[in-house]
Structure 1
Amino acid sequence: MKPTRFETAIALIDKKNEEDPNTYQVAGFDYSKELLYSQRMTRKLLQFEPNASKALQIAARAQHICRWKIARNEYPMDRIGYLKWRETLKKMHANLTTEILNHVGFDAQFQERVKKIILKKLIKKNQESQILEDTICLVFLDYYFEEFAAKHNDEKVIDILRKTWVKMSEKGHSAALTIPFSDKSLALVQNAIS
């Protein structure tokens, strides 16, 4: 049976992310960092929002597409540099995804919808962008937070948690509180949100 356009788009996103030279180890296996991240995004999205549209599923899968191609150190190592880097990345992710969707035959309206979700424009007004933001935060908290917290002092960790919490919806907050944190991480989370 011929794969659908949706399946082909997901496979092409994965193929790009598989090229990531950075690896991440889980249970003794090395994974392409962004491929693993994108698969975690899909898994978390479908747990959080089982009826997610195809557009939202594609946006979640492509949220970090080819992220390694623009290094953080290409921008000044301050807050302004960080925000510029993030904005440049978002545009690259959106453009690469649009190219893939165009290639597999999705119409311009669908391409534009996915692009808007990835760019997270009008986040509090666009429900799909908000769901994507919640999913990003949940993936961070579930898969990357413990490692992040181990590398930074509690003050910085609490600051990042507060910033993460503000980006999330009420539904996102509820989902975050079901994550099985370690005792130390749970204490940091409770401190941040109290």
Structure 2
Amino acid sequence: MTRLQTAFDAIDKANAADPTLTDGQPEALLYGLRMTSEQAALYPDASEPLQIACRGQHVERWKLPRKDFPMDRPGYLAWRTEQGRRHAARIAGIMREAGYADEDLAHAEKMLTKQGIKRDGDVQALEDVACFTFIRWYLGPFAEGRDAEELSRIVEKTARKMSDTARARALVEFAIPEPFAAAFRA
């Protein structure tokens, strides 16, 4: 077994413990598999640290519930920051056990804590993969019950996080309707 497969197996085993089920599968496990699928389509030549960061972006996410933080914007941002820190530390441990070098661990940690978004190609690639995963699998259910203005803000924020190349591809791949498509052309 390769060290990449060893890392994937460890991430999948950790995420299989998620008590929240979607389509009969633990949600974190399903999310990791979806991230890997999007990464393979968007960045087929991705480095192993990027592949691992994609698979493990939400590793054991359920262990730090959103409700444990204030339900306002600062609380949300604090929760996301702490999740990134926890995910990075957990993935670094998994990578170490699989035999990866310290520089690979540091690179994965940088990606998972979003250090260098829009400046570092792999950090941006992880964000592109996360945005494609969100659009393909989660935007529809997320949009239910939201008014058009709120949904428009969410779509605009998602598009801003993406690279120019990913935004252009999203327009084609998802056939994004107007007025939402304007955010992807900006």
Short-chain TM bin: over 0.9
4+ residue stretches of structure 1 with deviation over 3 A?
191-194
User: Which amino acid in 1 is paired with 2:83?
Assistant: L
Q: Cα distance, 1:189 vs. partner?
A: 2.1
Long gaps (5+) in structure 1: none
Which of residues 172, 175, 180 is equivalent to 1:189?
180
1:41-62 CA deviation, whole Å, 9 max, x = no partner?
A: 0000110111111110000000
> How far apart, CA to CA, are the structure 1 residues paired with 2:119 and 2:181?
28
Which of residues 9, 16, 19 is equivalent to 1:18?
16
User: Which amino acid in 2 is paired with 1:189?
Assistant: F
> How far apart, CA to CA, are the structure 1 residues paired with 2:182 and 2:141?
18
> How far apart, CA to CA, are the structure 2 residues paired with 1:70 and 1:136?
19
Kept in 2, the 8 Å contact 1:48–1:175? The answer is no
> How far apart, CA to CA, are the structure 1 residues paired with 2:39 and 2:179?
24
Which of residues 165, 175, 179 is equivalent to 1:171?
165
> How far apart, CA to CA, are the structure 1 residues paired with 2:108 and 2:58?
14
Q: Cα distance, 1:188 vs. partner?
A: 5.0
> How far apart, CA to CA, are the structure 2 residues paired with 1:48 and 1:191?
22
Which of residues 123, 145, 148 is equivalent to 2:139?
145
Percent identical residues: 36
Kept in 1, the 8 Å contact 2:49–2:107? The answer is yes
> Secondary structure of 2:22's match?
strand
RMSD (Å) for aligned C-alpha atoms:
1.4
> How far apart, CA to CA, are the structure 1 residues paired with 2:184 and 2:74?
26
Q: Cα distance, 1:193 vs. partner?
A: 4.7
> How far apart, CA to CA, are the structure 2 residues paired with 1:94 and 1:188?
36
Q: Cα distance, 1:102 vs. partner?
A: 1.2
1:69-115 CA deviation, whole Å, 9 max, x = no partner?
A: 00111111000000000000000000000111111221111111111
1:103-147 CA deviation, whole Å, 9 max, x = no partner?
A: 122111111111111111011211000010011011111111111
> Secondary structure of 1:151's match?
coil
Kept in 2, the 8 Å contact 1:159–1:192? The answer is no
> How far apart, CA to CA, are the structure 2 residues paired with 1:67 and 1:112?
20
User: Which amino acid in 2 is paired with 1:23?
Assistant: L
> Does 2:41 match 1:5?
no
> How far apart, CA to CA, are the structure 2 residues paired with 1:50 and 1:100?
22
Name the TM-score, length of structure 1 as normaliser: 0.91
> How far apart, CA to CA, are the structure 2 residues paired with 1:155 and 1:18?
36
> Does 2:58 match 1:57?
no
Q: Cα distance, 1:149 vs. partner?
A: 1.2
Long gaps (5+) in structure 2: none
> Does 2:124 match 1:130?
yes
Kept in 2, the 8 Å contact 1:154–1:188? The answer is no
